[in-house]
Homo-oligomer: A and B are copies of this chain.
């Protein structure tokens, strides 16, 4: 493969006998340059197969037109959809998205953040890993003057100096439990991750609040605080089952947790929804196709991604806006074959 040196502004300029600056301006449609000249420059650029070197442009302009995106996972319905939305929105604004994946690993997350800073992205959107505890890196980034905002997952308690775009975790859970109670359940369990991250804290808070509202006492052994993955659901249900005292209904903090519950239930011969009913926070394509299809709290991924990009770009454009902004996006309830009134067999027995 012959290594043809790339065409540069210089090459185009020489061919037209003008200066690089003229070419640079013409190519960017700068009003300084005449229609006539602009057209000629564009023509030559095309003919030569010119491709602007955005590395050089970034260095010179001190602005990369790139934003960084850090997510914990990629092969996950929610994050897949959010990433897509971020990409699409950024694309519309002529901004490139640099995606990095932490794999729920705090060390790796930190490394990625350093890389993004090194790449001089104009801003960063992050959904932190389950394990992120050390927050110094965020302070360092703030000190570097790079806008960063949290999307969906952020440290709890929140870090001052950072905006965020969040899901209404508490309200969504509250509505789900309201529904479960309306269906007739009184023995409610919760399986989900810890409180050092907002989604763990808020979703559980919604659960607690709902119980209180309905005058249902919280049973400690029906609250399993693990992580947010399938294993956690599986193990959580096993633990619930071992205790010999199964609840009527389980709220799973994420859909992978719910899938883990399905798996464990199958292994144990416990029927869903007849023996134990279930809902989850978070939709996916699996939940639609599984039997019984899973009712859940749906997070508006499209809106999350676009809001995040737009907020970030506005902060980039105006870095001196004083106050942190916190956008909270509402959820909706998707009812499928679990947790529905219309299958009241056991409910009648239970009274």
Binding site for B on A (CB under 8 A): 1-4, 6, 49, 51-56, 58-59, 64, 74-77, 80-81, 83-84, 87, 96, 98-101, 114-115, 117-120, 140, 142-145, 147, 259, 262, 285-286, 289-291, 319-320
**With the chains together, A290 CA to B198 CA distance in Å?**
32
Pairs of residues from A and B, 6 with the lowest C-beta to C-beta distance, nearest first: A75-B80, A291-B291, A289-B290, A3-B145, A54-B118, A1-B319
A120 CB to nearest chain B CB (Å): 5
**With the chains together, A64 CA to B98 CA distance in Å?**
14
**With the chains together, A1 CA to B163 CA distance in Å?**
12
A24 CB to nearest chain B CB (Å): 14
**With the chains together, A144 CA to B3 CA distance in Å?**
7
Report the nearest B residue to A145, measured CB to CB. Answer: B3
- Ordered by A's residue number, 23 sampled pairs between the chains whose C-beta atoms are within 8 Å are A1-B145, A3-B145, A6-B144, A49-B140, A49-B143, A49-B144, A51-B144, A52-B118, A54-B118, A54-B119, A54-B120, A55-B64, A59-B59, A74-B74, A74-B80, A74-B84, A74-B87, A84-B101, A259-B289, A262-B289, A286-B289, A289-B289, A291-B291
Copies of this chain, complex-wide, total: 2
**With the chains together, A195 CA to B286 CA distance in Å?**
30
Report the nearest B residue to A294, measured CB to CB. Answer: B289
Report the nearest B residue to A289, measured CB to CB. Answer: B290
Contacts of A101 in B (CB 8 A): 84, 87
Tell me whether B120 and A55 are in contact (CB under 8 A).
yes
Known: A55-B119, A99-B99; 6 extra A-B contacts, CB below 8 A, are A51-B118, A51-B144, A54-B119, A55-B58, A55-B120, A286-B286
Cβ 8 A contact of A55, one of B4, B55, B80, B285: B55
Cβ 8 A contact of A77, one of B75, B289, B319: B75
Contacts of A51 in B (CB 8 A): 114, 117-118, 144
Report the nearest B residue to A146, measured CB to CB. Answer: B1
Contacts of A80 in B (CB 8 A): 74-76, 80
**With the chains together, A101 CA to B99 CA distance in Å?**
11
Tell me whether A56 and B59 are in contact (CB under 8 A).
yes
Report the nearest B residue to A321, measured CB to CB. Answer: B1
Cβ 8 A contact of A84, one of B4, B75, B320: B75
**With the chains together, A74 CA to B2 CA distance in Å?**
34
Tell me whether A1 and B147 are in contact (CB under 8 A).
yes
A98 CB to nearest chain B CB (Å): 6
**With the chains together, A52 CA to B290 CA distance in Å?**
49
Tell me whether A75 and B64 are in contact (CB under 8 A).
no
A242 CB to nearest chain B CB (Å): 24
**With the chains together, A289 CA to B287 CA distance in Å?**
9
Contacts of A52 in B (CB 8 A): 118
**With the chains together, A83 CA to B71 CA distance in Å?**
13
